[in-house]
Amino acid sequence: MEDFAQYDAVGLAELIRRKEVTPLELVDEVIDRIERVNPTLNGVTIKMYDHARELAQGDIGNGPLAGVPFLLKDFLAEYAGVEYSASSRFLQGFVPDRDTELVKRFKAGGFITVAKTNLPEFAIGATTEPRLTGATHNPWDTSRTPGGSSGGAGAMVASGVVPVAHGNDAGGSIRIPAAACGTVGLKPTRGRNPLGPYFGEVFSGFVAEHVLTRTVRDTAAVLDITAGPDVGDWYPAPPQSTSYLEEAGTPPGRLRIAFSAESPTGTEVHPDCANAVRDIAALCEELGHDVEERSPDHDTHGLWLDWTTMMSAGVAWGVHGWEERIGRKVEPGEIEPFIAALVERGDAVGAPAYLAHLERLQLGAREIGKFFTEHDVWLTPTLGEPPLPLGILTYDSGDPFELRRRQATFSPFTYIANVTGQPGISLPLAWNGDDLPIGIHFLGRYGDEATLLRLSGQLEEARPWKDRRPPVSA
C-alpha cells in the first residue's frame, strides 16, 4: 500500500468501512514496515504477528477504529497471553493472564495490536536505552535519542510504521518522545483514562495513559474510545459532554495564552527551543488570541524536587510489588543500576516524609491552578534541548539524582502537568537548522482537553506537519 503513510487512523478506519482495504492487508502492511525499519530504529521488541493476523481475519467489530493496526507500549497495559517485560530482565518471560481496562477499551474501539514497543526499564527515564532490549534510535537522526519513556512508540509513529501507538506518562513520557520524534502527544487529565483494575493511582497519581499520533484528530478519536472512569476510581476526571473528535475540528475562539521560554527548574533552555516558542506565541497572536509572556508564580523547582523524591518511592513500590506478584526477590543483575539506586533511595523515604512531599505537591498544584483562572493555556517548549545524542542520559553508578538533574535540563517543563493532573499536549510545530523536531507544549486547565484539542487543530491547519518525513521512514 504505497500511500499508507498518507492516512491517519481515522482515515484507515474509513477505508476499511468502505471496503477499499481489508484489516489483514493493513496488518500485513504494518508488519512489512516494522521489518523494514526496526533493524535500524529498534522500536519494537515483542512481535504479535500471528495473533494480529488471526484477529484481522475474524470479526473486527464495529468500533470507531475497527481494523486499524496498533502498537502497545510494554508497560502497565497488560494484554492477556502476551509477554510483559517492561524492558527488565527481572520480568523477562512473564505472561499475564488478564487484560487491563485500557487494553479492553483499545480492543473495543477496534484496534488490532501488532506488536509491543520499547521503553527504558520500568519506564523510568527521558531516553529509551534499556540494557535488555537495546537502545531505540531517533528516525530523524539515528545517533540521537527518541526520548522516553515511550520512545519506541515515538520512533514507530514518526517513521510511518503506524499512525498511532500507545504510551503512558508520569513526568513527560508521552510528550518527551512526541517532541523528540516530531509527533503529537497528549497527556490527558488525571483520571481521564483508566489505570485499573489491577493498578491503583500508580506513582502517586502522576501517571496518565494515552497515545502518540501523527494528527490531532487521531489523538482526539482515541480519547473518545478510552476516556471514562473505571469502577472504583479515586480520581475520575470531570466528565466531557461532547466528542473529543468534534472538539478537535471546532474553532477555539479567542483564548488567553501565556507563554514562557524560561525553565521552571532554573536550567538553561537551548536557543532553538526558546526561539521556537516565541515564534509560535507570535503565530497564536496572529490567529487572534490574547498572548502575554508570563509564568505561574510558584517555586516550581521545589515542586520538581518533591516530585523526584516521590518518583523514587514509586519505583521502590513498583519493584517490590512485582517481587510479590512473581513470588521471589530481585537477584543481582536482574534490574539496572539506575533502578536499583532509585529503589534504595525510595526505600529510605519514610511515611511522614512521603506525606510531607505529597502535601507540598498538592498545595503547589493549587497555586498553579490559580494561574489558570486568568489564562486558558500556558505555552512553553516541550523540551529544554533538541534531541540529545544517545548515551548522555544513561547511568552506571553514583548519585542517581545527578542523572535526574541532567534529565531535568533536557525536560524541565513536562513534569508540572503530572503533579497538577492537568492535560498537556506536545505538537510538532518547529524544526531546527539540523532538521530535528522541536516540540511545543501547551498546558490546559484541569479537565479541559477540549480547549487544547481545539487550539491544536487550529495550529495544525496553520502550520501543518503531516507531510514531513524523517530520513528513516517505512
Choice among 173, 204, 260, 411 that is catalytic: 173
Sheet containing 256-259: give its strands across.
Answer: 44-47, 112-117, 69-73, 164-169, 208-213, 184-187, 424-431, 437-444, 377-381, 256-259, 290-293
Contact (CB, 8 A) for 410 and 393: yes
Helix H segments across 149-243?
Answer: 151-158, 175-181, 216-226
Choice among 73, 107, 116, 187 that is catalytic: 73
Which among 61, 6, 59, 50 has a CA at the least distance from the CA of 28?
Answer: 50
Locate 417 and state its grid cell: 502537568
Query: Is 73 considered catalytic here?
Result: yes
Query: Is 150 considered catalytic here?
Result: no
Alpha-carbon distances, residue 36 vs 143, 275, 444 (angstroms): 18, 36, 38
Within 10 Å of residue 469's Cβ, how many Cβ atoms? 15
Choice among 88, 149, 260, 426 that is catalytic: 149
Distance CA 355, CA 255 (A): 37
Distance CA 289, CA 144 (A): 35
**Side-chain-side CA neighbours of residue 349 (13 Å):** 23
Locate 138 and state its grid cell: 531517533
Query: What angle do helix axes 23-41 and 49-56 make, rounded to 10 degrees?
Result: 160
Query: Is 149 considered catalytic here?
Result: yes
- Which residues are catalytic, by number? 73, 149, 173
